[in-house]
Amino acid sequence: MGELKQWQMTKLKKEFSLVESDLPSINEREAIVKIAGCGVCHTDLSFWHDGVRTKKEMPLTLGHEISGVVIEGPEHLVWKNVIVPAVLPCGDCELCNKGRSNMCQKQLMPGNDFHGGFASHIVVPHQYLCPIPDSILEKYPLAELSVIADAISTPYQVMKKSELEEGDLAIVIGVGGVGVYGALIAKIMGAKVLAIDINDEKLDQAKAHGVDATLNSKGLTNREIKTKVREVAKELGASKFGWKIFEISGTAPGQELAFSLITFTSTLSIVGFTMNKLEVRLSNLMAYDAKLIGTWGCKPELYPEVVDLIASEKLNIKDFVQTIPMSQINEVFKNTLEHKYSKRSVLTPDF
């Protein structure tokens, strides 16, 4: 039996501790994945720093954005390169059978319901593991592809849920991490894309990768921003109606801005998470005949479509990912909290 090494959260805001044990035995529904990489997500920061409760009590190994190699499990998966979906549904409840498996009430989330990916190995249900074709591995190391599990699949699902159509104006608020992938996926789907952020570096990066227009909202009122958005829509030849707005910053100001941008027949999608509460006038939804939707992760059934986006080279992720040895986890979490990185950090086991 091999050895399992995990970096565990033991207390809120405290440094992670390295814990060693034997690899556990598994049942017929499980697999052991040797981890290649695990991305650091805003949700991990919420668990570690903001006091958002995890389902499993501490000590807990965080991390839900995982790629790796199956070393034990069903024969058809052993030695396959896989992505571990960030949301693992049961596959046979009312919501799963209605095509809403991402909201399965029996779902399991690595790094929340059970020990996650900041480790050498992980034991997971094998039903929804997503194989990675060898062709992608000619372009990307397996570790970098871990971002498919959340940072790419989450905005992919919300773009589909929003009923985004070719020629629509897609307004993406917050283009760091998940947001930049959302902007690029909207562009791939044929939208005219406006990226809004307070960081010029992130905006420049989005523009360099094909986003149609950018706007730095720092110091502007929401009313001023809406005026500028109308100008951008006109310049891009997009309609002044039906804007598709995606709030991905996970901040109260970002959510307030997103709601203020609602116009006739708009759809506002809330992707980012914050514990802060807002005061908004919901009657705007009635007056504009608009829609407000949420999204949670991505149902595993969509993962192959996301993989195809990368395999076909429609989506290039190379410039948005950096790999860092997992032994630097405490420094990485601190730096991520202080917004010191412009790329998604993927921790790679260096045990």
Does residue 111 sit in the same domain as residue 209?
no
pLDDT of residue 318: 86
Residue 103's CATH number:
3.90.180.10
Q: What is the total count of domains within the chain?
A: 2
Write a three-state SS string for the chain.
Answer: CCEEEEEEECCCCCCCEEEEEECCCCCCCEEEEEEEEEECCHHHHHHHHHCCCCCCCCCECCCCEEEEEEEECCCCCCCCEEEECCCECCCCCHHHHCCCHHHCCCCECECCCECCCCECEEEEECCCCEECCHHHHCCCCCCHHHHHHCCCHHHHHHHHHCCCCCCCEEEEECCCCHHHHHHHHHHHCCCEEEEEECCHHHHHHHHHCCCCEEEECCCCCHHHHHHHHHHHHHHHCCCCCCCEEEECCCCHHHHHHHHHCCCCCCEEEECCCCCCCCCCCCHHHHHCCCEEEECCCCCHHHHHHHHHHHHCCCCCCHHHEEEEEHHHHHHHHHHHHCCCCCCEEEEECCC
Does residue 102 sit in the same domain as residue 239?
no
pLDDT of residue 1: 55
Does residue 184 sit in the same domain as residue 275?
yes
Q: Which of 257, 278, 294 is the last residue of a domain?
A: 294
Does residue 9 sit in the same domain as residue 135?
yes
Does residue 192 sit in the same domain as residue 226?
yes
Q: Which of 253, 274, 294 is the last residue of a domain?
A: 294
Q: Which of 279, 294, 309 is the last residue of a domain?
A: 294
Does residue 260 sit in the same domain as residue 315?
no
Does residue 279 sit in the same domain as residue 331?
no
pLDDT of residue 286: 97
Does residue 102 sit in the same domain as residue 208?
no
Does residue 106 sit in the same domain as residue 59?
yes
Does residue 7 sit in the same domain as residue 144?
yes
Residue 283's CATH number:
3.40.50.720
Does residue 13 sit in the same domain as residue 141?
yes
> Which pLDDT tens digits describe the chain residue by residue (351 residues)?
579 999 999 999 999 999 999 999 999 999 999 999 999 998 899 999 988 899 999 999 999 999 999 999 999 999 999 999 999 999 999 999 999 999 999 999 999 999 999 999 999 999 999 999 999 999 999 999 999 999 999 999 999 999 999 999 999 999 988 899 999 999 999 999 999 999 999 999 999 999 999 999 999 999 999 999 999 999 999 999 999 999 999 999 999 999 999 999 999 999 998 889 999 999 999 999 999 999 988 999 999 999 999 999 999 988 889 999 999 999 999 999 998 888 899 999 998
Does residue 173 sit in the same domain as residue 256?
yes
Q: Which domain holds residue 180?
A: 154-294
